[in-house]
């Protein structure tokens, strides 16, 4: 026979679990950080930023918080802040492919093409199956005037993800 147990609504899904944990104790910063990551992925950037900032100073190694804030700021067009948050994340976790890719993207958008290339290539070494890392490297190479290398890197991105929008856009430019 199965033991009797009370229903626990907080286990319905991660979102609900983290919200219940925060309602029980607003100082459960781990829950705010994880919920902030979820909200960032959903595109609810203001709520993600609020949650992530509430957790940021209270966790021992907040590289995931910094990486998520980088993503939020990148998607809000706050490229300098995005780069700075990725710098903070990479100080704590130097080989985090998400932080490397996001910082590469921020650097590209800030016009730091050499820095973007270095980060994108590092991300591609750490996570070779990252089409995004290869696509950003291709854009950086193109911006640096290295068209043949850009084509090769872009081909690598498309080999990994044939419908990758960023790589398809650059291919149309390279094919002109």
What does the pLDDT look like over 13-64, one tens digit per residue? 788 888 888 888 888 899 999 999 999 999 999 999 999 999 988 888 889 9
With the C-alpha atoms ordered 101, 107, 113, 119, is the resulting torsion angle positive or negative? Answer: negative
Q: Please state the pTM of the whole predicted model.
A: 0.85
Phi and psi of 112, rounded to 5°?
-90, 75
Q: What is the reported pLDDT for 117?
A: 98
Range 169-175, long-range pairs (CB < 8 A, 24+ positions) = 170/135, 170/138, 170/139, 170/142, 173/142, 174/142, 174/147, 174/150
Query: Which candidate, 36, 54, 53, 56, places its Cα nearest to that of 45?
Result: 36
Q: pLDDT tens digits for 66-79? A: 999 999 999 999 99
Distance CA 171, CA 63 (A): 34
Residue found by looking up tokens 């949650």 in the block: 51
Helix, strand, coil percent values for the chain (each to nearest 5) = 75, 0, 25
User: Among residues of the chain, what percentage have pLDDT more than 90?
Assistant: 79
As a whole number of angstroms, the distance between CA 119 and CA 136 comes to 9
């Amino acid at each position: 026979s199965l033991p009797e147990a009370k229903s626990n609504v907080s286990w319905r899904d991660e979102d609900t679990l983290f919200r219940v944990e925060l309602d029980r104790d607003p100082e459960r910063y781990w829950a705010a950080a994880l919920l902030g990551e979820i909200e960032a992925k959903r595109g609810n950037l203001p709520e993600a930023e609020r949650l992530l900032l509430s957790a940021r100073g209270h966790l021992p190694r907040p590289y995931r918080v910094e990486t998520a804030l980088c993503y939020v700021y990148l998607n809000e067009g706050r490229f300098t802040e995005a780069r700075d948050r990725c710098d903070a994340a990479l100080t704590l976790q130097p080989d985090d492919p998400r932080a490397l890719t996001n910082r590469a993207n921020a650097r590209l958008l800030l016009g730091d093409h050499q820095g973007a290339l270095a980060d994108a290539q590092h991300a591609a070494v750490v996570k070779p199956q990252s089409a995004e890392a290869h696509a950003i490297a291709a854009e950086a190479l193109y911006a640096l005037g290295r068209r043949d290398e850009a084509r090769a890197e872009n081909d690598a991105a498309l080999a990994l993800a044939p419908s990758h929008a960023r790589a398809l856009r650059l291919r149309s430019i390279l094919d002109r």
